[in-house]
Amino acid sequence: MEWAEQRRLMVERQLRARGIRDPRVLAAMGEIPREEFVPHPYRGASYADDPAPIGHGQTISQPYMVALMAECLELTGTETVLEVGGGCGYHAAVLGAVATKVITMELIPELAEMARQNLERVGRAANITVICGDGSKGWPESAPYEAISVAAAAEEVPPALIEQLAEGGRLVIPVGGGWEQELRVIRKVGGETPWRVATFCRFVPLR
């Protein structure tokens, strides 16, 4: 099946069918070639309803989870977004399609370089900066952020990310250990950080 048709079916069957409604997120997921971010041995399953290995013990998240996290950030197109756990660059590409600027951080140098190359190859690098570093400390140089997305599970929400979140900003992060994780959506309001659980999930640990 042609990649474009696989993307269309993914959007309809995996995203719309599960309640993803943000038209800009759906458009981004339907346009960005996920197969270009998946390593060749797994490329045939680029649009499967599952995560896929990208090396170094890391994964590219399930398409639905990428869309859900992006939708939970409530992006309007004017935001600067910090992404923690950049991996192969796919999630950053989606965020870059619905925000003004994305700073994506990846701890593993080989994956950071893979993300840079992937984003350049698919023409999505113009508003995305890839930084190799410890994302749990955030990136204060570009703070505050209207939105922060974390693609790895933390036992506790890193204080640096709360500090770097703008007033009214949204932070989406998996919290918990092992397989007992919940995807939290945290909002910073008047110095307080109320949160809700969007879904339960399984992510690799935040390192």
- Is the pLDDT score of 179 beyond 80? no
103 in Cβ contact with 139 (< 8 Å) = yes
DSSP-based three-state secondary structure for 81:
strand
Tokens standing for residue 48: 């499967």
The closest alpha carbon to 204, from 62, 71, 81, 39, belongs to: 62
Give pLDDT, residue 1: 63
Those residues whose C-beta lies under 8 Å from the C-beta of residue 40, and which sit 6 or more positions away, are none
Query: pLDDT tens for residues 40-65?
Result: 999 999 999 999 999 998 999 999 99
- Is the pLDDT score of 188 beyond 70? yes
> Looking at 46, 61, 136, 149, which residue is catalytic?
61
pTM over 0.85: yes
- pLDDT (average), residues 106-117: 97
Residue 142 β-bridge partners: none
Known active-site residue 136: no
- Is the pLDDT score of 29 beyond 80? yes
